[in-house]
Amino acid sequence: MTITAEERAALRKNATDIANDTRLIYPRSEMGRIILGLLDVLEAAEAERDALRQQILDLMAESEGVAGLHLNGDLAEWDWLIDHGWLSLWNRQEAQKRMEGKK
C-alpha cells in the first residue's frame, strides 16, 4: 500500500492533533504519538530505499552488468537482468534512461 504525500501530511496533522489533545484519555493520545513515530520510521525507510536505488542506478550507469552471475564466465548485462525479471520491481524506463547516459 502506498501513501501519497497529501495523505501522509493529513495523517501527520491528525496524529499530532490527537497526541496534543489534552481532553483525550491516555490510550487515544498515546495512539497519536505511536502514529507519529511510525510515520518517522516510514520516512526514514523511504529515504534509505531512495539512497539505495540511486546507488544501483549509479552502478548501472558505470558498468555493463554483473560478472559471474551465470557461473559460466558470461557477463549478465543490465538489459538481460531487467528483461528476465532479476530487477522486476525496477522501472525499466528509468533504468534505460540512466544507462543511456553512460554512453
Which of 56, 53, 58, 80 minimizes the C-alpha distance to 69?
80
pTM for the whole structure: 0.60
- For cell 558505470, the residue is 62
One-letter amino acid for residue 48 of the chain: E
pLDDT, tens digit, for every residue of 25-78?
667 667 778 888 888 998 999 899 889 888 988 888 899 988 888 888 889 888
Cα angle 53-58-64, degrees, rounded to a multiple of 5 = 115
Cα separation of 99 and 71, whole Å?
A: 24
pLDDT at position 41 = 92
